[in-house]
Amino acid sequence: MSAYPKSPVMGQMMQKPMLISSLIEHADRYFGQSEIVSRRVEGDIHRYNYTECHRRSKKLANALSNFGVNIGDRIATLAWNGYRHLEAYYAVSGSGAVLHTINPRLHPEQITYIVNHAEDQYLMFDITFLPIVKAIAPHCPTVKGFIMMCGREHMPEDSGVPNLLCYEELIDANTDDFVWPLFDENSASSLCYTSGTTGHPKGALYSHRSTILHSYASAMPDGLNVSARDSIVPVVPMFHVNAWGLPYSAPLTGAKLVFPGPHLDGKSLYELFEQEKVTFSAGVPTVWLGLLNYVEQNKLTFSTFRRTVIGGSACPPAMMHTFRHTYHVEVVHAWGMTEMSPLGTACSLLTKHMALSEPEKEAVLTKQGHVLYGVDMKIVGDDGKELPWDGKTYGNLLVKGPWIINSYFKNEGGEALEDGWFPTGDVATIDADGFMQITDRSKDVIKSGGEWIGTIDLENVAVSHPAVMQAACIGIFHPKWDERPLLLVVKKAGAEVTKEELLQFFEGKVAKWWLPDDVAFIDALPLGATGKILKNKLREQFKEHKLPTA
């Protein structure tokens, strides 16, 4: 595999392929009693440990092997975060097949497209998704069987789904006498399609090696800081870039795992956090909005929750401030992409920051942060020339590293790299200490009179207003400036604020020429399948909007 020259003196260390099965083997052997707790789709709480999880993963691996599943075959899941999904993670990848996690929030037509594109052989799904499976089954000729992740008592009498199998029956019918096969660590392990706001989704095909390296790096103290003393709730779904690697880094460290199932509202999360003594969690800003609202309205505090990773979209400074000051929860602002397994950067302070005032520390922590060892990044202008790390100059962000894609699955979209670097599509600054800050997605930047206006800054200011729940900024056609910012705002329940008051609130907080030209109040922002605001929908919805300055 290696294209590099060999030294005449090679190191004399053991060769052991880095395989995903080694993670669950390790967790079973060294942290066998560490718990895995799941709020099930069925409604109750399920509780077992890594030893039991390993045993059932081997039973599932035997079931797949009896079906004739081969190394490299794709096996899909449509499932919430839960213990059966975790078993599928290990049974499928561990046996050498490829785990294809599908986002159930995609349109059924898109799901059909990716099942066919991936040529999935089996599809495992939670009860909740039976209607989706019914709709897509007739259009997915490669799928030989649909495995419903439940016991016999929950199986439908007459589902209309061909070859419908019961997960628990497969577990019962197979022994745990299974030896994880050894194979090349560069073999494909899992497949995740990008959310694809335009065009068809494209597949990022991870390898065992890339997954293990990503797990090591992400668990480090200035990464996600995962340890055997943690009780972790991955709120980020296991179908969104493998829950940011937590189903791998938790067994690597022996941490307790707590799965929320489909219940991601503030009340359900808070109860789970308290019951299971959760110390650490990870999710997108929209989920934390729900949790913070619930805790605030009910005047609650967290007993054990100490740290949360926020990523997927920019974490508003106001949210970070509330977590840190009101609830004493540390926020790790992280950035990454499906194409990056996903972690690229995480924000932790340096020694020199420790003497700063709280507002100064927060100003640093608001950035997306430092690369994890293994990732390299740079910013370039439209001419491809590298730009300075001065914290002010912004440019297109490019990355490289062993857990970043080389090409999309089946080479979809052609060459994915530019001169060996992956273009992220994000626009960012990097400061002299190497802290990166995202200004915008390049397609969302507002181009006003030849200059760029970053929408994240404007949105951050808007959501720091006490009456604002959510905000999104988009560029609207302007005859003189090409584009000018329109701010779309969802007010907090029962709160009032006028357009004039909001615009006044911006004064002194951003450059004068960045001030939005107009504000529109709306009931809700359209969210995509991974909780991101769909700005293309907003641009479509407001394309006829007439700015007062136009």
Residues with a catalytic annotation lie at 194, 339, 447, 452
Applying CB under 6 A, the span of 28-36, 44-52, 180-188, 332-340 interacting with ligand AMP comes to 332-340
Residue 313 within binding range of ligand AMP, rule CB under 6 A: yes
57 versus 242: smaller Cβ distance to ligand AMP: 242
Nearer to ligand AMP, 96 or 234 (CB): 234
Contact set for ligand AMP, span 387-446 (CB under 6 A): 424-426, 438, 441
Q: 430: buried, middle or exposed (CB in 10 Å: 19+, 13-18, 0-12)?
A: buried
Q: CB of 89 within 8 A of CB of 189?
A: no
Angle between helices 21-31 and 83-94 (to 10 degrees): 120
**Contact range with ligand AMP by CB under 6 A, out of 25-33, 147-155, 211-219, 337-345:** 337-345
Helices (H) and strands (E) in the chain, counts: 16, 25
Give the orientation angle of helix 21-31 with respect to helix 208-219, to 10 degrees: 50
Report, in Å, the least distance between residue 424 CB and ligand AMP: 5
Nearer to ligand AMP, 83 or 403 (CB): 403
In one letter, which amino acid is 166? C
Question: Given the complex with ligand AMP, which of 130 and 398 has the nearer CB atom?
Answer: 398
**How many residues interact with ligand AMP (rule CB under 6 A)?**
20
358 vs 534: CA distance, rounded Å:
33
Q: Which of 194, 218, 455, 460 binds ligand AMP (CB under 6 A)?
A: 194
- Min dist. Cβ of residue 313 to ligand AMP (A): 5
Binding status of residue 20 toward ligand AMP by CB under 6 A: no
Binding mask 233-272 vs ligand AMP (x if CB under 6 A, - otherwise)?
--------x-------------------------------
If binding is defined by CB under 6 A, does position 455 make contact with ligand AMP? no
Q: Is 82 in the site for ligand AMP (CB under 6 A)?
A: no
* Least CB distance to ligand AMP at residue 315 (A): 6
Q: Is 195 in the site for ligand AMP (CB under 6 A)?
A: yes
Is 312 a binding residue for ligand AMP by CB under 6 A? The answer is yes
Three-class SS of 327-378:
CCCEEEEEEECHHHCCEEEECCCCHHHCCCCHHHHHHHHCCCEEECCCCEEE
Select from 337, 371, 436, 486 the one that contacts ligand AMP (CB under 6 A).
337
On the CB side of 278, CA atoms within 13 Å amount to 27
DSSP 494-541: T----HHHHHHHHBTTB-GGGS-SEEEE-S---B-TTS-B-HHHHHHH
What is the amino acid identity at position 131? P
- How far apart CA 504 and CA 462 sit, in angstroms, is 11
Least distance to ligand AMP from the beta carbon of 505, Å?
23
Q: Kindly state whether residue 333 participates in binding ligand AMP, applying the rule CB under 6 A.
A: yes
Q: Residue from 191, 282, 530, 533 that binds ligand AMP (CB under 6 A)?
A: 530
SS3 243: helix
Six-digit token pair at 429?
């600054």
Beta-carbon neighbour count of residue 309 at 10 Å? 29
114 binds ligand AMP (CB under 6 A): no
Number of residues assigned to the chain: 550
Sort 224 into a burial class: Cβ within 10 Å, 0-12 / 13-18 / 19+: buried
Position 185 contacts ligand AMP (CB under 6 A): no
Applying CB under 6 A, the residues found at the interface with ligand AMP are 194-195, 241, 311-314, 333-335, 337-338, 342, 368, 424-426, 438, 441, 530
